[in-house]
Chains A and B, each alone.
Chain A
Amino acid sequence: MILDMPSIPLTVLVLVGVGSPALLLALLGVASLLGHPLPERWTGRLAGSSMIIASAALVMAFVVYGMTATGTQLLSYGTWSTSHEGGIAIEFLVDRLSLAFAALTAAISGVVSAFSNRYLHLEAGYNRYFVLFAMFITGMLLVALAGNVAVLFVGWELVGLSSALLVAFFQDRPAAVSNAFRVVSVYRISDAAMLSAAVLLRHVAGTDSLSLLFGGAAATAGLTATNATIIAILLIVAVAGKSALLPFSSWLPRAMEGPTPSSAVYYGSLSIHAGCFLLLRAGPLLEQAPAARLLAGGLGAATALFAGITTRVQSDVKSSLAYASLTQVGIIVTEIAVGWYTLAFVHLAGHACFRLLQFLSAPNVLHDLHGLEHAIGDHDSPGRGHFRILRSDRSRRQLFLIALERGFLDTILDRIVIEPFTRMAALMTRLDQWLCDAVLPAPLPSAVDEDDEDE
């Protein structure tokens, strides 16, 4: 029986594609909440089935769209939050770009799901991993297909939270948890920028429809140049946080604490490209805001240069791959800023697949190296040193130090943001205590052990 694909409505296919991982999230999440997580075998099968269904539905949607549609379509599934004005509508914007990215997302997720099923076999957090993985895939698909800024924001938040919690996956390790907190700190800046862009768009345009932002020059003509620039800059800040562009790149190596499959899918293939995808979609808006375009191009180029240098001195394979990814992400962002949208998407898709393979192979890199050396009967040829392009030893050492310290971004962030904030907050806390003591003098420390107090 030949399936008559054009007769299957896009609305159904997209709903199945997005709904499948969402349903997986609900099933696994409820089971965990009730204290009875599903057995590993069931979790693996459900995850695999869900990814297969999602991939099939979205690939079919892409084919159906290609065979039947002629332009961008807005699929509406009703108003979710309220019947009054200002309600959030569930809308998906489908065109070649969104469906292609969604299909790519689902396909990559299926591969990673199968890999994870084996890689994390008998791991204590197996179930927790797949709950977070389902959350991530749901979020990514919402980002890919969002028809309004509210849906985009929902997806953005889901991706961010799942990423942070997966960095802390090995939660017995204080380093992993501490790094997860640093990652989520940057993500919150990104989320705040995204939400601010959404609010501003609703405020100035009276709608949060993404067809306005992404619909081409005519559609964005309703925005003044100033408004378009501010919204575009906020989007760029959101993208910079999510995609680890400068000056937010310091979180990326910290995120390598998570399990290899999550590093692969987040920082090799999908999450790190989510920002690029959003920027790609916002191309028409960028064309109206030359200053924002310049900013995007500058950030992209600077990030590519920085990451390209830093990757060469990393001592562990995952950090090296992370910065290699970042180099390409920087180049993709620059391509978008220049206006080479098709090239940018092809670059994005190809890089996502290639880097996924590299990340998934990372645990085997030493084994592969030993195999190679055994085959050739000698050690692999040693490197010729770093930064030989520079003539001066002093310059090479300085550049090496900057690369080794990853641009001193952590130090700069600590000195400029974290330490002043912490000092200010400590001062305010002391002020609050003083406001109590000014009313009543505080008693001397008593012999009562606070641990003995009830409630």
Chain B
Amino acid sequence: MSDARLWLAGLVLLPVLVIGASYLRVDVERLRRLAVASAVAMVLAALTIALSPPLRDFSIRASVLTWIPGGEDLIRIDTLSSVLLPFAAGLWLLTVAVTPRAALDRRGLRRTALATLLTLTSFLTESAVVLLLLSAASVWTFLSALDDPAHRYQRQVVAVYLGASTLLFASGVVLLVSPGVQNTIVETVAMWLIVVAALVRKGIVPFHAWVPEVFDHGRLGPAILFNAPQVGAYITIVLIVPRASPEMLRTIALLALGTAVYGAALALVQRSARRACGYLFMSQSALVMAGLDCTSVTALAGGLLVWLSAGLAFAGLARCVLVLEARRGRLDLTSYHGGYDRMPVLAISFLAMGLACTGFPGTLGFIGQELLVDGAVDVFPVMGFAVVIASALTGLAVLRMYFSLFCGRSDVLAHPSLRLGLRPREAWTFMTLVIVLIGLGLAPRPLVDSRFNASQEILQLRQQRMLRSSALQSIY
């Protein structure tokens, strides 16, 4: 069982199994249980890979359609991706365990499994062409979730913005893999096309308008599953960071820092809980982007940590909003809804996950934010403090949501016989997520060390490629 290929095959086959079963005449409830079991198995398998050094060093190289001399890894597990695998699996488990039954039918279960498969395989490759194809497929999957008449406008918005992102990405990749473009203006143009594609996908200002619209009026569940893994961050770190010029990275980082403050500030004043979630996601996503583009080991490690903590915490937070909406309908943050007494576990989970988003001490987000702030200030002595402002505003936004959603008088119209409390699977899932976020926050060392190692590898790779590129330029 030490062969990494076997484990990878198992990881990939689990969502395929659910996709296949969805086409058979399997009862929806059984299909759901199969999905939960598969997600649990996927988490365990992914954790095994992440914790096992022999399994963490595996790659299959390819030299066709590549922009890297000597070929690139078609499939690889390394220090960076090994931790992302259980992350993707955990998001799938969160989705299938918590989403209300009425909202996750056969098609929904198929779609979530497919989305997870695409995310997982994205995290396993560094091939630009494969990433392009997977990215396009994930956008198509997201669009398919919005194909009902009620979401026609949001589907069009997503189609325009993410369609443009995919086209830009495709153009950039086509240029990059063309022969003879190394160290030419064509390569620079290609890089910029990919950068803009990643900025659109990540919702970075000024390409962000689709995010709040989709969260507010689209389908929140698919929006969470599409955005929480932050594949755009992965594209950035694999394709952009190793090769981009310092000016390019600086531009991205500054835009990201501005977006972090912008998103947090707007999340604070929203009326709709969904729209507030959208802006919160924008802010957190931008912090990750800022860390990835700061070219210091500390900032990069911080960005990689915030990626995990914000991804999990935000997904959990948004799922709490979904669970509440299933019981109360749309949530208006300008009034108090009460309900702490009915759902204390949900309230505590919401608060804990929200605080993890803000980098509260004792949560996984704290270490990431500390490293990110330190690294960002080292690179941008003034703008780096934007992380501090974004964190403060995010904390306020989260607490405002908590006070609105769980404080105030309980709904006096609800008959006492109505069961509005959490179902056991919902309660256990949220509790587990909170325990993971706090547990990793209190004992962060192995994970933090692994992110430091990953960031050192990435920056070493960048240095090597920069040196190679300078050597080639001097020859010519």
Enumerate chain A residues within 8 angstroms of B361, measured Cβ to Cβ.
Answer: 153-154, 157-158
Q: Does A421 contact B (CB under 8 A)?
A: yes
Q: Which residue of B lies closest to A429 (CB)?
A: B266
Q: Does B226 contact A (CB under 8 A)?
A: no
Contact B373–A161 (Cβ < 8 Å): no
Contact A455–B209 (Cβ < 8 Å): no
Contact A436–B448 (Cβ < 8 Å): no
Q: Does A180 contact B (CB under 8 A)?
A: yes
Interface centre among A35, A80, A454 (most CB of B within 10 A): A454
A200 to B399 Cα, complex, angstroms: 27
Q: Does A377 contact B (CB under 8 A)?
A: no
Given contacts A184-B396, A426-B269, contact A439 B381 (CB under 8 A): no
- Shortest distance between the CB of B319 and any CB in chain A (Å): 10
Contact B330–A35 (Cβ < 8 Å): no
Q: Which of A417-434 contact B (CB under 8 A)?
A: 421-422, 425-426, 428-429, 432-433
Q: Does A202 contact B (CB under 8 A)?
A: yes
Contact of A428 (CB < 8 Å), options: B210, B262, B381:
B262
Chain B 380-418 per-residue mask, 1 if CB under 8 angstroms from chain A, else 0: 010011001101110110011001001111100000000
A184 to B393 Cα, complex, angstroms: 11
Interface centre among B153, B297, B361, B444 (most CB of A within 10 A): B361
Contact B153–A171 (Cβ < 8 Å): no
Q: Does A100 contact B (CB under 8 A)?
A: no
Q: Does B316 contact A (CB under 8 A)?
A: no
Q: Does A1 contact B (CB under 8 A)?
A: no
- Shortest distance between the CB of A433 and any CB in chain B (Å): 7
Contact A440–B330 (Cβ < 8 Å): no
Q: Does B150 contact A (CB under 8 A)?
A: yes
Enumerate chain B residues within 8 angstroms of A455, measured Cβ to Cβ.
Answer: 99, 103, 219-222, 322
Contact B395–A188 (Cβ < 8 Å): yes
Q: Does A84 contact B (CB under 8 A)?
A: yes
Enumerate chain B residues within 8 angstroms of A446, measured Cβ to Cβ.
Answer: 150
Interface centre among B221, B322, B396, B400 (most CB of A within 10 A): B396
Contact of A440 (CB < 8 Å), options: B156, B301, B373:
B156
- Shortest distance between the CB of B73 and any CB in chain A (Å): 25
- Shortest distance between the CB of A313 and any CB in chain B (Å): 30
A450 to B153 Cα, complex, angstroms: 14
A429 to B156 Cα, complex, angstroms: 20
Q: Does A192 contact B (CB under 8 A)?
A: yes
Contact of A432 (CB < 8 Å), options: B209, B388, B435:
B209
Enumerate chain A residues within 8 angstroms of B360, measured Cβ to Cβ.
Answer: 157, 161
Q: Does A38 contact B (CB under 8 A)?
A: no
Q: Does A123 contact B (CB under 8 A)?
A: no
Enumerate chain A residues within 8 angstroms of B301, measured Cβ to Cβ.
Answer: 84
Chain B: interface residue count, which band? Answer: 35 or more
Contact B378–A425 (Cβ < 8 Å): no
Contact B329–A451 (Cβ < 8 Å): yes
Q: Does B212 contact A (CB under 8 A)?
A: yes
A1 to B143 Cα, complex, angstroms: 77
Q: Which of B266-283 contact A (CB under 8 A)?
A: 266, 268-270
- Shortest distance between the CB of B202 and any CB in chain A (Å): 16
A432 to B278 Cα, complex, angstroms: 12
Q: Which residue of B lies closest to A124 (CB)?
A: B341
Contact B161–A442 (Cβ < 8 Å): no
Q: Does A83 contact B (CB under 8 A)?
A: yes
Q: Does A395 contact B (CB under 8 A)?
A: no
- Of B53-61, B115-123, B175-183, B344-352, the segment with at least 4 beta carbons within 8 Å of chain A is B344-352
A448 to B154 Cα, complex, angstroms: 14
A150 to B369 Cα, complex, angstroms: 12
Enumerate chain B residues within 8 angstroms of A184, measured Cβ to Cβ.
Answer: 395-396, 399
Q: Does A9 contact B (CB under 8 A)?
A: no
Q: Does B234 contact A (CB under 8 A)?
A: no
Chain A 5-41 per-residue mask, 1 if CB under 8 angstroms from chain B, else 0: 0000000000000000000000000001111000000
Enumerate chain B residues within 8 angstroms of A440, measured Cβ to Cβ.
Answer: 153, 156-157, 160
A79 to B444 Cα, complex, angstroms: 11
Chain A 148-172 per-residue mask, 1 if CB under 8 angstroms from chain B, else 0: 0010011001100100100010011
Contact B445–A80 (Cβ < 8 Å): yes
Q: Which residue of A lies closest to B206 (CB)?
A: A435
Contact of B377 (CB < 8 Å), options: A150, A172, A199:
A199
| Extra inter-chain contacts (18) besides given A32-B348, A33-B348, A195-B391, CB under 8 Å | A35-B344, A88-B370, A168-B407, A171-B338, A174-B408, A174-B409, A181-B399, A185-B396, A191-B392, A199-B374, A425-B269, A432-B208, A439-B161, A440-B153, A440-B160, A442-B153, A450-B330, A454-B103
Which B residues form the contact surface with A (CB < 8 A)?
99-100, 102-103, 149-153, 156-157, 160-161, 206, 208-210, 212-213, 217, 219-222, 262, 265-266, 268-270, 297-298, 301, 322, 329-330, 336, 338, 340-341, 344-345, 348-349, 352, 355, 360-362, 366-367, 370-371, 373-374, 377-378, 381, 384-385, 388-389, 391-393, 395-396, 399-400, 403, 406-410, 427, 431, 434-435, 444-445, 448-449, 452
- Name the 3 nearest CB pairs between A and B, nearest first: A435-B209, A455-B221, A171-B407
Q: Name 26 A/B residue pairs within 8 A (Cβ), A-sorted.
A: A34-B345, A34-B431, A82-B448, A82-B452, A150-B370, A154-B361, A154-B362, A154-B366, A171-B408, A172-B338, A181-B400, A185-B396, A199-B373, A199-B384, A203-B378, A425-B265, A425-B266, A429-B212, A432-B266, A436-B209, A436-B213, A440-B157, A451-B330, A454-B219, A455-B222, A455-B322
